[in-house]
Structure 1
Amino acid sequence: MRKKRLLAVLLTLVMTASMILTGCSGNSTGDEGGSKKGERKRISVLLRASESHPKYIMLKKLLTEFSEENGLDEPEFELVVSDADYVTKLQLYINSNSLPDIYGGANGALSKAAKDIDGIVNIGEELERVGMKDTMNEAVYDFFVDNEDGEVYLFPECLNCEFFFYRKDIFEKYNLETPTTWDEFLAVCETLKSNNEVPLIVAGQENWQLMRYLSFAPWRVTKDGFITGYMSGEETFGENESAQTGVELLNELGTKGYFQGGFLSTDYTASKDLFFGGTGAMYYSGSGQIQDASAKYDSGELGFFPVPDVDGMENMDTNVPIHGGFGTAFNKGTYDETMQSFFEYMCKNYTRVCYEDAKVFSPFNEEIPEGLDALFYDLQPLFETASDAWVSWDDKLDSATLTSIVDEQQKLAQGTVNLEDFEKTVDGFITK
């Protein structure tokens, strides 16, 4: 009896040691079967998305195809819809060094946190490895360049371009031309307002929408120069002329009634419903709303124009904000041969799923297939030769500074703070 008990104890110890030696921990391997070749069971993914989001649609399709071809179980997705909840979830994974194989991240604080734990793959190097770096749109690639080391750690969700839609019948009614400068833009707004039209629809409840108007001018003149200098304490709103132009623009649009009534309580869905439902003459939007706009565009009701120039200043050539959305990162700690193979498969097939499944622009400069909405073909000349990306202030600023600026920009648009006080207040958020 004692011998049987002793044998049982020894067998348990051997099995435990075996498990430790083969490495059962998912944190270091990203799978259930250890790090040895052929033992991976599935690929795990964390996304800030719903099941209807283009990013989920594309990765679900690609990962399912790849997994079936390579004998893997179905990919494991964890979806978080709320921005705040997603950041909290991702930070927990970073803090515990237990990131999934693939996860979403913005080019800023999140990517830096992952880089600090060596938990993120160099996407630029991987694009070179699979021979696809030169195929990627230059501006989209530029959007994800890391400020610290000039490398790229995030793969684009897609190519997003932003611009203004306008209602052709209203412009024709008042003999208006599409504005090419901000002075012309404000003149158009004044004409429309004086004729009891709603010049401009905006989702004022969304932080980034008002911030676009605040940042348009500094972007066209300095690209990322102002916002980078502001964060380091070397630039101020009070001294930078292009930044002052942005302050003046947002204040004038809000206080002169060029936005729709109740704009601060309008979310993005409601703003789309307003404009595409027939309210307002202009709407800042982008390629993400092609499906909303296509019918009216095809019938000749809608047109589009890029971001206007800043009068009296030297503007960069790119006048269409181009970005890659919420980037896709790969966990360096679990980036084994299977994941490398998937990355190559993803790159080779990404354009296909962009257009066939998600109906978005591919980040690769590959041919757009036939049979899509006319806007896909008509918008392409806006960005196909662009080399400079959009610079999202809301990605670059730390959360505390972002929240403080958002509070002040609402006051600026309402007219409850004057220009000088706004500039002085927001400049006080940063210290050298």
Structure 2
Amino acid sequence: MKKITKIALTTMVSASMLAGCAGGQTTEDKGAAAGGANKEKVKLSIWHNWTGQDAKGIAMRKILDDFKTQHPEIELEAEGLPTDGLKTRLRTVAAADEMPDLFVMWPDAMTKEFVNGKLLQPIDEFLNSKPEWKNNFIPNALDGYTIDNKVYSVPMNLALSSFIYYNQAIFDKYNVKVPKTWDEFKTAIDTFNKNNIIPVALGNKANWVAQSTIFSTIGDRVTGTDWFLKASAQDGAKFTDPEFIKALTVLQDLGKSKAFQDGFNGIDENQMMQLFFQGKAAMFMDGGWATANLVNNAPKEVLDTTHITIIPAIDGGKGDPQSTAGVVGTGLGVSKKLTGARKDAAMELFYALSGPEGQKATLGSSTLVSYKIDVDKSKAHPLFVELSEFSKNVKISPVYDSKLSSAAVEVINNGLQELLMGTSPEVVAKKVQDAQAGALGK
């Protein structure tokens, strides 16, 4: 389940030689060196997207701060960017081969592109040295980071990207059923509109939102997973096929029915959430990660009546109605250029963020993980317990931006904005088809 300035990052090594390498040491210096307390000074950079005041962002920034305190020999330059800005900036510096030392990255398409660009180094040796860690990930968790039998990262969360969060109190006030069918969903939209309640708050300014949190699941509901994987591979299916046209039409019809508030392409996720927090919207669609924001920031009267469901089945669709779009979560990329003491320092930080303690911190921040840890129901917020239990009973279908090429992702993200403003499904479909075929050379 994201756009802008080209910035060159130059990584530098600051070497402070150990005992025996420098003349004029004091007795105190020599004693420290002999005792092994004097470590080589290194500089390390990390780019991440833990910028918000959600519980997950706060938890991960605390790990970074603790790491700095515990490792005075490592000068850590941590830079946070919103998700869409991070993705764009990474691809910009990738083109110039100027990657930071460590960086949050996404599985599947992005990982493949960075490996093909010779920008990453595998982590197999480090991972294999800690089998109790490696073997505790859920089945297939490492697949999206494995290229040609080499592992390049591990997931730090589980990104189920498409849930409906709804305010039960608003549903009860207007006698609306929580929708289990598409007709019930459309009825809910009509009823809320008649009562001046926004049916579904949407913040699609960062244009991945509609694609990742809404359309990836709608697309799968209509086309089925097999069709999408074939179209992504350009092997037996094309994005100009009738199935995809129908999926685009379903989303466009939601827009025409006023499912979303006016100006949804002009506000961001945080503003979208505020509409829900203020009781102006009955629902919003977002990934499981939104729970961390709700738990940390929603007013108690809203949080206490918020519950979770998935997009209903779509009549005539080929997809599994008990699925939702998702992917194993983001991981950390390790720059190919790292060697020696800087690589060792990077792997220490890698383990702090994505090892067992990092996974526990993530789970404790009301964020799902791709790691075998049970939720402590006595400590976790009831909404996160609800999400965790709900997630056990749904299958995962692909998120579009995890499988499509960068070019096609950019096209579909922009295309969905245009679609919701009136551009025909056929025009959007052809643009997506051309972009994916071009990227694969087909």
TM-score by length of 1: 0.75
2:348 pairs with 1:365: no
> 2:5 maps to what in 1?
none
**Mapping for residues 5-404 of structure 1, pairs under 5 Å:** 32=15, 40-42=40-42, 44-49=44-49, 51-52=51-52, 57-58=58-59, 60-62=61-63, 65=66, 72-81=73-82, 83-84=84-85, 87-88=88-89, 91-92=92-93, 95-96=96-97, 99-108=99-108, 110-116=110-116, 118-122=118-122, 126-130=126-130, 131-138=132-139, 141=142, 144-145=144-145, 149=148, 152-161=151-160, 162-212=162-212, 213-220=214-221, 222-223=224-225, 225-226=227-228, 229-230=231-232, 232=234, 234-241=236-243, 243-286=244-287, 287-288=289-290, 289-291=293-295, 292-293=297-298, 295-296=300-301, 299=304, 301-316=305-320, 319-334=323-338, 336-346=343-353, 347-355=355-363, 358-369=365-376, 370-384=378-392, 388=396, 391-404=398-411
Describe the SS at the equivalent of 1:75: strand
Deviation per residue, 1:60-106 (Å, 9 max, x gap): 5445545655663343323444744764456436744x544322223
- Using the TM superposition, give the Cα deviation of residue 208 of structure 1 relative to its aligned residue in structure 2, in angstroms: 1.9
| CA apart distance, 1:296 | 3.5
SS at match of 1:178: coil
Structure 1 pair 284–240 and aligned structure 2 pair: CA distance change class (3 A): same
Partner of 2:279, secondary structure, is coil
Deviations 1:7-58, CA, capped at 9 Å, x for gaps: xxxxxxxxxxxxxxxxxxx97x9663699x9964246132143654767655
Please tell me whether the aligned partners of residues 157 and 369 of structure 2 are also in contact (alpha carbons under 8 angstroms): yes
Unaligned runs of 5+ in 2: 1-9, 19-35
Name the CA distance, whole Å, in 1 between partners of 2:211 and 2:103: 27
1:228, CA displacement in angstroms? 5.5
1:411, CA displacement in angstroms? 3.3
Q: Distance in 2 between matches of 1:411 and 1:89?
A: 25
Encode CA deviations 1:106-155: one digit per residue, 9 max, x unaligned. Answer: 3355433432354424457754542223422447555x345x64765233
Bigger CA radius of gyration? 1
Aligned pair count reads: 398
CA change 1:120–1:34 in 2 (3 A) is farther
Other structure's SS at 1:281 match: strand
1:400 deviation in Å? 4.1
Distance change (3 Å), C-alpha of 1:359 and 1:66: same
For 2:217, give the aligned amino acid.
F
Q: Distance in 2 between matches of 1:196 and 1:56?
A: 34
Query: Relative to structure 1, is the Cα distance of residues 267 and 365 closer, same or farther in structure 2, using a 3 angstrom cutoff?
Result: same
Aligned equivalents of 1:430, 1:93: Cα separation in 2: 20
How far apart are 1:375 and its partner, in Å? Answer: 1.2
Matched residue SS, 2:73 = coil
Tell me what 1:12 maps to: none
Aligned CA distance change for structure 1 residues 256 and 366 (closer, same or farther; 3 Å)? same
For 1:42 and 1:424, locate their aligned partners in 2 and report how far apart those are by CA, in whole Å: 50
Unaligned runs of 5+ in 1: 1-25
Tell me, what secondary structure is at the counterpart of 1:329? strand
What CA distance in whole angstroms lies between the structure 1 residues aligned with 2:346 and 2:271? 40
1:32 match: secondary structure: coil
Give percent identity, aligned residues only.
22
Matched to 2:375, the amino acid is I
Change beyond 3 A, Cα 1:171–1:328:
same
The answer to whether the 8 Å contact 2:16/2:40 transfers is: yes
8 A contact 2:104–2:331 mirrored in 1 = yes
| Preserved CA contact (<8 Å) 1:200 1:283 | yes
Letter aligned with residue 235 of structure 1: A
- What is the root-mean-square deviation of aligned Cα atoms in Å? 3.9
Letter in 2 for 1:352: K
Aligned partners of 1:135 and 1:387: how far apart in 2?
20
CA separation in 2, counterparts of 1:178 and 1:67? 47
Q: Which residue in 2 is equivalent to 1:409?
A: 416
Asked if the contact 1:164/1:284 (under 8 Å) is kept, the reply is yes
Report the secondary structure of 2:79's partner residue: strand
Deviation at 1:252, TM superposition (A): 0.7
The alpha carbon displacement at 1:193 in A equals 3.3
1:427 is aligned with what amino acid? Q
Query: 1:295 corresponds to which letter in structure 2?
Result: K
Once residues 240 and 79 of structure 2 are traced to their aligned partners in structure 1, the CA distance between those partners, rounded to angstroms, is: 44
Q: Equivalent residue of 2:251, what SS?
A: helix
